[in-house]
Structure formats: structure tokens, C-alpha cells
Amino acid sequence: MLDELKNYLAITWTDPVIDSKIGGILSRAESFINSYAGATIDFATDLTAKQLLFDLCRYIYCNSLEDFKVNFRGDLIALRARYKEVE
């Protein structure tokens, strides 16, 4: 998923430092989305959640994490509601 995220962020070059940074962002973002949903999400099959994950990574990468929760509030609420129904 790292290569997909790099493509989404328009990172077209190879740099081990950037790869490590993006990998760390991806791990933290996955944890955040899973925690918010209250479930472990399979991002390979839940493309709506994957888009939300990539958007969160974009916000973190651009040092705008505080804006993510505001701008994606409705999406986060819908995600939580969708996974609460699965329980």
C-alpha cells in the first residue's frame, strides 16, 4: 500500500528517508482510522475507508492533521456508524 500512497501523494522519486517517513505516516493513520471505526479495517477491500486513510495521510504529510477531523467529520462519523453496525 506504500507505493499506492506515494502515488496518491505525487511522490514519484525513490528516497529511503521519504519511504520511511511515509511508511510511518501510513502506520499511524491506519491505527487512527481503525481506532475511530472501532474495528480492524481491511483497506484492500473497503475502498471508502482506504480513501479516508489516504486523505488522512495527505493531511499528516502536509502538517495539517488538526484540519482533518474538521474537514472529514462527516466521513468519520459515517465510518464509525458503518462499523458499529457490523458488531
pLDDT in tens, 38-50: 999 999 999 999 9
C-alpha cell of residue 37:
471505526
Alpha-helical segments (H) within the chain: 2-8, 16-37, 47-61, 65-71, 73-86
Model confidence, pTM:
0.93
pLDDT at 69 over 90: yes
pLDDT of the residue at 87: 55
Q: How many Cα neighbours within 13 Å face the side chain of 28?
A: 14
Average pLDDT over residues 62-74: 96
* pLDDT tens digit sequence for 30-40: 999 999 999 99
